[in-house]
Amino acid sequence: MTSLEINAAPGWVADAIFYQIFPDRFCNGDKSNDLVDVASWGDRPTRDNFFGGDLQGVLDKLDYLNELGVNAIYLNPIFQAHTNHRYDTTDYFKVDPALGNLELLKDLVKQAHQRGMHVIFDGVFNHCGDGFAPFLDVMEKGASSEYADWFLALDYPLRKEPLNFLTCGGCTYLPKLNYAHRPVREFVLKVARYWLEETEMDGWRLDVPFKIPVDFWHEFRKVVKAVNPQAYLVGEIWREAQPWVNNGVFDGVTNYRLRDILLDYVWTNVLDGEDFGYELQTLMSQHGIAVESMLNLLDSHDTPRILTTLKGEERLLQIALTLQMTLPGAPMVYYGDEVGLLGETDPDCRRCFPWNESQWNWQIVDSIRGLIALRKAHPAFKHGRPQTLDAFNGVYAYRQAYQNDEALVIINPRETIPMMRIQTRSQVRCWRAYNGDKQYPVQDGNILLDEVPACSALILLPVESV
């Protein structure tokens, strides 16, 4: 394999619509593997309770996801662990029994592939759980353990009170792995290779990769791409992505920076339309060739739900969704957002999916379905780059174009702007709203809007392409 092949992002990611699933809260498809003290579905989530969601539940809902328009699934951790979030891995080579088993996981990936979907797993490699066999051995034998160098201790025996070994974020149940010790690296590379080969899954979302030496991730990439050159590697990065995507490390990152500027524009009013355009263009420039393989999210299991952040303002949600679905980078829907699920920060953002359709917000369902279908039908949204057309107070207008496909997007999260003229920078003579009949003829290279309504998002397509 050439270095060009190793560094190339998977071609399928630009066309992906991701759906993030927190397995314990999505769907309970097999009650026989429920824990003894499982909570009633829909009860208030805590940091400790389990609800019985499992891989069979995901498998059962693949057709639902297909109808929504999803074609890529990101699974939060599924390996054996003690907690409901499973970021405390105790066995890296075993599916958690409360979720299912290896054969079920392989079937899930296979059936997803048959529907044209890709599946990526969550790799938690900075730290393990305190039930991980090598850590237990060190707890028992101290410095004489053959695994003593796998961890970083001040002295022995290991103690949680006061804590004398390095952990993730000071959590006593999350011992940090020592990447200066070669056997640790070999172990993690073996794990990465095993799941790719055994299940034929499609890549890794990598937890807190900035806590691990970057040279390891170069090794990791080579191993993964040697198994599957089209495997997607996306790092959980909350701030600047440039060092991770422009230096042959990851294909993309969790695009929290885009989320930040989007919320500062749509919600907090820190940015007006002109500011947002500047920040957006700057961010796109920083991401370079990785723009199309970024993972564009509005929320996740680590943040409040987007509709909660927006205080239930559905018009603002429509704006946020419009931006997410019309900008380059793979959009990711956090499970339940499409039906209007609410939730403050962890653990409230990890509520059970309400499968009773009478509880769904159908306006949001229809909106997300429509925007996903629109994105899939128009290469301009996937492969184009936003070209600023105009900005006036709260309004920001941009053009997306790729080959013979193009669209205009006009966003206004603030007050109504009357009588606005927007230059199209296009040869198209007439435009029409993608979800309506109103036409906008072009005069002297401009379209004239009687007004740009408050809290509105307008997507225009050439009349001949509608």
155 is catalytic: no
Cβ within 8 Å of residue 69, ≥6 positions away: 17, 368, 369, 372, 373, 376
437 noted as active-site residue:
no
Tell me the three state secondary structure of residue 18: strand
Q: How far apart are CA 112 and CA 122, in angstroms?
A: 17
**What Å distances lie between residue 45 and 1, 20, 32, 213, 452, CA to CA?**
47, 18, 21, 35, 41
Please report, for residues 65, 222, 255, 397, 461, the alpha-carbon distance to residue 378 in angstroms, rounded to integers and kept in the order given.
Answer: 20, 33, 22, 18, 10
Q: What is the DSSP string of 455-466?
A: TEEEEEEEGGG-
Identify the active-site residue in 30, 88, 236, 338: 236
Return the ∠ at Cα 442 (arms to 328 and 416), rounded to 5°: 70
d(CA 53, CA 96): 12
How far apart, in whole angstroms, are the C-alpha atoms of residue 2 and residue 25?
42
25 and 51 in contact (C-beta within 8 Å)?
yes
DSSP category for residue 81: E
What is the rounded distance in angstroms from the CA atom of residue 10 to the CA atom of residue 264?
31
Of 275, 348, 271, which Cα lies nearest the Cα of 307?
348
- The Cα-based distances of 273 to 310, 350, 390, 424 in angstroms read 18, 33, 9, 17
Q: Given 96, 122, 207, 299, which residue is catalytic? A: 207
Active site amino acids: 207, 236
